[in-house]
Amino acid sequence: MTGDGAAVVDAVEAVAERIEDERAHLTELDSAIGDADHGGNMARGWAAAAEAARDLDDPDPQTVCKTVGKTLMAEVGGASGPLFGGSLVFASAELDDGIDAESAVAFAETYLEKVEDRGDARVGDQTVVDALTPAVHTFKKSVETDELPPLEALAKAVDAAERGVAFTVPIRAKKGRASYLGWRSVGHQDPGATSALYILEELLAVAADALDAEIPDVDATSPTIPDEAAEDDSAAAEDD
């Protein structure tokens, strides 16, 4: 458990660093369709969150998530506070017994549900939901149906999120500041969805590092069929 907590702190630090690196890019995306504060708000929030996480004494994953979520809510000053941070506090309830494949799926689903509820947004509204939904669905399917190793499932989720971010470009914003632009929001990549992708990419990198493994090269859209093939083989064997 302690090891998991330390890995989660590492992940928060990696996210803070990444968001700081991408700050100008996120602000540029947000200045095209919003109020140009996403990069600055997220960078400030995650820097404070990383500091708060570092200050925790030997925390479990749930405590790290709660602390980070509360810090984001207090520091961000925009919609990303309740969406990224508030949902984290809420979903941390799924981590009572630490992180394993099962609790990670529950955490991801609860997080997405809270973001949808709080933002009153659905897929296709040109929001963070467009990145999170394919990521969470792909992760759940990879773990529960395909029974892939968690790291591979997470890699698939990241690939799915990347496709979700690309999906925000040719659609019209229905929520957030960009929705005030109407059709002029078409052709722009959503900053919040982009941030979610960066966060997931850093989670994957830190998870691979913690497991001392390479990041699996996967494609979210490729079906997983080896189990079916194995079942076919055994079925064929029974027929014989």
Residue 37 as a binder of another protein (CB under 8 A): the answer is: yes
Q: 40 near 27, Cβ under 8 Å?
A: yes
Count interface residues toward another protein (CB under 8 A): 19
Query: Which residue matches tokens 């529960």?
Result: 144
240: its two tokens: 């014989």
Q: 160 near 137, Cβ under 8 Å?
A: yes
| Residue with smaller CB distance to another protein, 69 or 150 | 69
Select from 5, 59, 61, 81 the one that contacts another protein (CB under 8 A). Answer: 81
Query: Which residue matches tokens 């968001």?
Result: 19
Residue 101 as a binder of another protein (CB under 8 A): the answer is: no
Residue 192 as a binder of another protein (CB under 8 A): the answer is: no
Select from 21, 35, 100, 233 the one that contacts another protein (CB under 8 A). Answer: 35
Residue 30 as a binder of another protein (CB under 8 A): the answer is: no
Closest CA relative to residue 153, chosen from 99, 85, 113: 99
CB of 69 to another protein, least distance (A): 10
Q: Which range, of 35-43, 91-99, 132-140, 185-193, touches another protein by CB under 8 A?
A: 35-43
CB of 212 to another protein, least distance (A): 38
Residue 41 as a binder of another protein (CB under 8 A): the answer is: yes
Select from 56, 113, 118, 169 the one that contacts another protein (CB under 8 A). Answer: 118
3-state secondary structure of 126: coil
Look at the chain and count its residues. Answer: 240
Q: Is the dihedral of CA 122, 72, 211, 108 positive or negative?
A: negative
Q: 173 near 126, Cβ under 8 Å?
A: yes
Residues lying near another protein in the complex (CB under 8 A): 35, 37, 41, 73-83, 86, 118-119, 176-177
